[in-house]
Amino acid sequence: MQLDNIEQLSTIANKSNFSIFELPKETELEKLFEKSLHIAPEGDKTKHISIEQIRNISQITSNKQNSELYIVIEQPELMSQNATNAFLKSLEEPGQNIHYVFLCYDAGQLLPTVRSRANNYYVKDSHKVNDPPKFAPEIIALAKEYISCKPNNIADTVEKIIKYRKDDARTGATQIVNAAIELMYKSYLLTGNEAFSVKLEQLLKTKDAIDQNGHLKLQLIANML
């Protein structure tokens, strides 16, 4: 959802356990939520947010909070895979009065599983929401068809998806589902329409099933009905 300015951030974050904000590149992230716990990327050459930093958060949040606690993660798009997994576990039981705040320059780099669990916002004129997904045109076309297909024609659409890459049907299907996820995420971010959020959850389940080597055709159909 769109925000007009960054002055709205604290009010919005107070209403949710987990918020993601995409901000202009020139924003000094450390100056936002100044009285909060900040986690920032570390490293001499390649900066990243490590699993150790996330574990430190878990230790803090394991104690009962009697007042509002804001945990601000700067540039979470630089979070390592292990750190991301650890963070997702901490989200399962966020704790009372705890607010996680992601301050991003490019929220599109976050995993869909992370984005789908948060309230997502961007500041006007500072985002890439209107940029088309970086996939081949034929992938985008199949992704749009897959998103919009009805129960009576989903089987035909899935056949097209499976045949897209004759050499590697699973990889081709994954690319198309990823494109569909990106389209739904951007649609939800722009409008706040819960129908897009529901469709996004279906697509994420489909992707997880495909990644776990589930039956390709069955998963492409079942999770979208």
Report the distance separating Cα 50 and Cα 52, nearest Å.
5
Residue 29: strand, helix, or coil: helix
Which tens digits make up the pLDDT trace of 16-71? 889 999 888 888 999 999 889 999 999 877 889 999 999 888 888 777 666 888 99
- The burial class, CB within 10 Å (0-12 / 13-18 / 19+), for 59 is exposed
Question: How does the average pLDDT of the chain come out, rounded?
Answer: 86
Residue type for position 225: L
Q: Are 174 and 165 in contact (CB under 8 A)?
A: no
Q: Are 193 and 178 in contact (CB under 8 A)?
A: no
Pick the range with the lowest mean pLDDT from 120-124, 153-157, 194-198, 201-205.
120-124
Region 209-217: what's the mean pLDDT? 86
Q: Regarding beta strands 2-3 and 119-123, do their DSSP bridges make them parallel or antiparallel, or are they unpaired?
A: parallel
pLDDT at 139: 93
151 DSSP 8-state letter? T
What residues are paired with 69 via a beta bridge?
98
pLDDT at 96: 77
- Find, among 123, 117, 130, the residue nearest to 9 by Cα: 123
Q: Measured at the alpha carbon of residue 211, what is the angle toward residues 209 and 215, in degrees to the nearest 5? A: 50
Report the distance separating Cα 172 and Cα 207, nearest Å.
12
Confidence check: pLDDT of 217 > 60:
yes
pTM for this predicted structure: 0.63
Confidence check: pLDDT of 78 > 80:
yes
Q: 85-117 as b/e, with b when 16 or more CB fall inside 10 Å?
A: ebbeebeeebeeebbbbbbbbebbebebebbbb
Which tens digits make up the pLDDT trace of 137-189? 999 999 999 999 998 999 999 999 999 998 899 999 999 998 998 888 878 87
Report the distance separating Cα 218 and Cα 225, nearest Å.
11
The residue with greater pLDDT, 1 or 164, is 164
